[in-house]
Amino acid sequence: MARTKRYAVAASGRWTDEEDGRRLPAGEVHAWEPGTNQTVCGLSISRSELTRFSGITWQDAFPESGGAADRVQRVCPRCASVAGRRGPDARPRWQRTRPRP
């Protein structure tokens, strides 16, 4: 049985919510797998000067989700294609089942 990957958020900026004092992502967001030093699309977190948000899940980073995405301006399309834009399974929609006829 395959293990479901959990993706967190790495962002180009950050802001602090006045109500609860949490750091939240802003600017461009990328999917990041905790324990690695790069985003899902291959950017180095330290060289790209991205901030890690291990407490924010990838699904919460989408502007239509509300929550932690109040100041997100752009979602990386390459990260979205790998990590998915739906539910907790975070798998891409398209998958080749039979590569040859």
Structure tokens at 4: 């479901």
Q: Using an 8 Å Cβ cutoff, are 57 and 7 in contact? A: yes
Name every residue whose Cβ is closer than 8 Å to that of residue 48 and which is 6 or more positions away in sequence. Answer: 12, 39
Supply the pTM of this predicted model.
0.77
Q: What does the angle CA 84 – CA 92 – CA 30 come to, to the nearest 5 degrees? A: 35
Burial of 78: CB neighbours in 10 Å, binned 0-12, 13-18, 19+ = middle
pLDDT, residue 61, reads 86
Task: Quick: pLDDT tens for 21-58.
Answer: 889 999 999 999 998 999 999 999 999 999 999 988 88
Q: What's the mean pLDDT in 5-24?
A: 90
